[in-house]
Structures are given as C-alpha cells and as structure tokens.
Amino acid sequence: MKVGVPKEIMPGETRVAATPETTRKLRAKGLAVAVENRAGEGAHFTDDAYRMAGAEIVDHVSALSADVVFKVHKPTFDEIRHMKSGSVSVSMLDMCHDDGTFDALADQGVNSFALEMIPRIARAQAMDTLSSQAGIAGYRAVLEAARLYGRFLPMMMTSAGSAKPARVIVIGAGVAGLQAIATARRLGAQIWAYDVRPEVKEQVQSLGAKFIEFELGESGTGQGGYAKQLSPEARKKEEQMLTDELKKADVIISTALIPCMPAPVLITEEAVRGMHEGAVIVDMAAATGGNCPLTVPDQVVIKHGVIICGITNFPALMPSDASNFFARNLYNFLMLMIEDKDGELRFRDFFADEITNMTLITHQAKVRFETTKMAKKKGAG
Ligand SMILES: NC(=O)c1ccc[n+]([C@@H]2O[C@H](COP(=O)([O-])OP(=O)(O)OC[C@H]3O[C@@H](n4cnc5c(N)ncnc54)[C@H](O)[C@@H]3O)[C@@H](O)[C@H]2O)c1
C-alpha cells in the first residue's frame, strides 16, 4: 500500500500533509511513501530529508495516483482526475461548500474522508486537525497582534518610565480562543474573554483571564459543543453590551464562529470608533465574513485609527509545526483505517468505527448524502 503526498497548490499554503517524521513511521508500518518533489519546501522539509526517511520523490501525478492520498486542502478537479478508482483520499473537504467536489470524487471512485468531520470525542483527539490547527492559529494571532501593537503587552518598569499592561479581549473561547488567552497571558497582558457558551467560563478563568458575562435571556450552546445562532433579540443585546466592553480594549482577538454560517458580527463600527488610536483587532473569523464588518480578508487595514488584521490562514505562517501536527493527525487517522492481515496491509471496514464512518464522504462511487447533510447541519470547517 502506497501513500502519496502531493504539494499543496492553494495560494499561500505552506503546509504539507506528511513530514519526514511521519514518513519514517509509515515506512515502519510497511507502507511505501511517494512525496511530490518540493512538497515540503514551504514547511522547510527538503526532498533529501524525505528520502532519508524512506520516501521516493515523485512528480505531481504520481503522488496523486497512490492508494492513499494525504492532502491539507480538498483536491482540485484536476487533481481528482489523476486519482485512481478505489483509492482513499484524506484531507479537509470544506464541507460547508459543495462546489461539485463530492460528486467529482464519487465519479472517480475515490473513497474520500473529510478531516473536519472527525467527532470531537476523546478517542479522536490525536486525529483532530481542526483542533491542532486552531491551537496554532490562536497562538500566532496573538503574536501578530503584539507585532502590530505599538506598545508593550506586559507591564514594563524601566528607567525611562513605565508602561501599563495591555488590556486584551478574546472573543470566542473555543480551541483558538483558549490558546490565544494562554499566549497573551504568557506575554503579560491582562485578559478578558467572552463566549456565548456560558460553560466555558471555568476554562477561561483557569487560564488566568476574566470572563465577561451578559444576560442574553438564552444560551448560545448548540449541538456537539458548537455555538448556535442567537435569536435577533439576543443578538441585539449581545451587540450593544459587547460594544461598550470592546471600546476599552487595547487588543481584540476575535475567533467567534458558527458552523456553516457567516461569522457573527460582534465588533461593530461603533465599537471600533470608540477604541483608541493604535489599538489592534485580529479578526480570526476573516475567512467567513469577519466578526468585524471593517475587516478585509488577508489585509491589515487602519479604520478610525484602529489596526485591523484579517489574516485567513494563520497555520500557514507556522508551517513547520503546523505540518508536524497535521501530519501526525493524519498518520493516527490512517492507523485507525488499516490492518495487517497475514502480512498484507488492508483497509478495515470503514463503517465499523464511529470515526471513519462519520468522516467518510464518498464511498464506492456514491456521495454519502446523509453524512454531507449532517455536516451542513452540524457544521464542519
Ligand atoms: N476532543 C474534544 O473533546 C474536543 C476537541 C476540540 C474542541 N472541542 C469542543 O468543540 C467545540 C467547538 O470548538 P471550536 O474551537 O471548534 O469552536 P469554533 O471554532 O466553532 O467557534 C469558536 C468559538 O466562538 C464561539 N462563538 C460563536 N458565536 C459567538 C458569539 N455570538 N459570541 C461569542 N462567542 C461566540 C463559540 O462558542 C466557540 O467557542 C467546543 O465545545 C470545544 O470545547 C472538543
């Protein structure tokens, strides 16, 4: 059985779905590994490093025609054409946007797995790419804020005078938000955090931040631990109360997402107008419309004197460790899927395990409509 690792072709993507470390582990399990030439370049893994780990270096088409194809992003239509019938594709599949990819994968006979559908259960944590990448994003977002903010985050007492610690507000205390709190705390900022799911209060406080609480008259907790959309009345209340809090912030890191929906607008133009000159907003929801209407995806803009950062792919700015984590997640996922039967590697029954059953999107030339419907309802990536 051979694992193929094509170079990512999405603009700005630096990650790679297998590293020399996971190549070595795959080889030790008896798998062959075919890595496209320069696939690891963006993440600082050379072809030689893959060769030394036991991979063969191949061209794009050969990497795509393996038995198992590991990718970060969903394969393009052109890539799908080169995949072989009966092969397995493992990648993010952008489940909220059906642009014909599912049908193309099914028509090609590819059995495809969507990593964003991995259930958020303890047993699946080692395979959970959403979490591993969100943690990296939360860390990097704070560093980006610190870079853009023209002042200190920690309190500084020097012979030239002192500086007050920055007041950082983190909106959304999911995986990215909690990592942002931890990182801002390490940098010495004073942190407040808000989430529409009240149950995260304890986690926020355990990281040394203060929890901002509003009486909205309803809970924002939806299915599977994700947030749900609030009623228009509760949204209005939330917006008003949050606007007053946000005006006091030096730095805002906003991470609020609702699966398969546009990001909720939480940082109003009025809030931005109320912030001081040189304050910073890092809007981590920029890819899905932004938590601030003034955010421009993939740009840093200054509005009403406030610096607003709309980076949409933070993990790509940490390519080596983002690839290390992503690749380990994929290795663990593949191990769940295969077994050694009398010295021969085979796929297990994909329906027998909750994790592979929930992530399998196309199988034997069919799109699993129930799975994709569920993805859109529950929300994934
Ligand atoms: N293996 C596991 O057990 C595991 C692993 C990772 C995450 N989880 C859980 O999965 C869930 C989703 O986490 P995620 O990081 O993917 O979340 P996410 O990226 O979908 O959303 C980020 C945060 O934004 C918040 N949010 C949404 N609308 C908001 C609003 N209007 N105002 C304020 N905040 C708002 C959400 O509540 C969430 O905390 C969480 O419950 C998390 O604890 C479990």
- State how many domains the chain has: 2
Judgement on whether residues 223 and 333 belong to the same structural domain of the protein: no
Does 123 fall in a domain? no
Does 128 fall in a domain? no
Judgement on whether residues 216 and 298 belong to the same structural domain of the protein: yes
Q: CA dihedral in degrees (206, 212, 213, 214; nearest 10)? A: -160
**Probe ligand 1: pick from 115, 117, 120, max atoms within 8 Å of CB?**
120
pTM: 0.94
381 residues of the chain, pLDDT tens digit each: 999 999 999 999 999 999 999 999 999 999 999 999 999 999 999 999 999 999 999 999 999 999 999 999 999 999 999 999 999 999 999 999 889 999 999 999 999 999 999 999 999 999 999 999 999 999 999 999 999 999 999 999 999 999 999 999 999 999 999 999 999 999 999 999 999 998 999 999 999 999 999 888 888 888 877 888 888 898 888 889 999 999 999 999 999 998 889 999 999 999 999 999 999 999 999 999 999 999 999 999 999 999 999 999 999 999 999 999 999 999 999 999 999 999 899 999 999 999 999 999 999 999 997 666 656 665 554
pLDDT of residue 222: 83
Q: Indicate whether residue 172 lines ligand 1 (CB < 6 A).
A: yes
Does 354 fall in a domain? yes
Judgement on whether residues 97 and 140 belong to the same structural domain of the protein: no
Closest ligand 1 atom to Cα of 264: 31
Does 258 fall in a domain? yes
Judgement on whether residues 311 and 323 belong to the same structural domain of the protein: no
Q: CA 47, 49, 53 angle in degrees (round to 5)?
A: 115
CATH label of the domain that carries residue 280: 3.40.50.720
Judgement on whether residues 267 and 177 belong to the same structural domain of the protein: yes
Judgement on whether residues 80 and 188 belong to the same structural domain of the protein: no
Does 130 fall in a domain? no
Report the distance separating Cα 125 and Cα 277, nearest Å: 41
Judgement on whether residues 48 and 159 belong to the same structural domain of the protein: no
Judgement on whether residues 174 and 311 belong to the same structural domain of the protein: yes
pLDDT of residue 381: 44
Domain coverage including residue 187: 135-316
Does 173 fall in a domain? yes
pLDDT of residue 225: 77
Judgement on whether residues 82 and 7 belong to the same structural domain of the protein: yes
Judgement on whether residues 87 and 178 belong to the same structural domain of the protein: no
Does 147 fall in a domain? yes
Catalytic pick from 38, 81, 120, 147?
120
pLDDT of residue 243: 95
- Catalytic (active site) residue 125: yes
Helix 319-337 vs helix 129-148: crossing angle, to nearest 10: 170
- Catalytic (active site) residue 194: no
Report the distance separating Cα 225 and Cα 236, nearest Å: 23
Of 126, 129, 131, 154, nearest in space to 250 by CA: 154
Judgement on whether residues 36 and 85 belong to the same structural domain of the protein: yes
User: Final residue of a domain: which of 284, 300, 316?
Assistant: 316
Does 95 fall in a domain? yes
User: Final residue of a domain: which of 299, 316, 333?
Assistant: 316
**Probe ligand 1: pick from 226, 237, 238, max atoms within 8 Å of CB?**
226
Report the distance separating Cα 242 and Cα 232, nearest Å: 15
Judgement on whether residues 222 and 277 belong to the same structural domain of the protein: yes
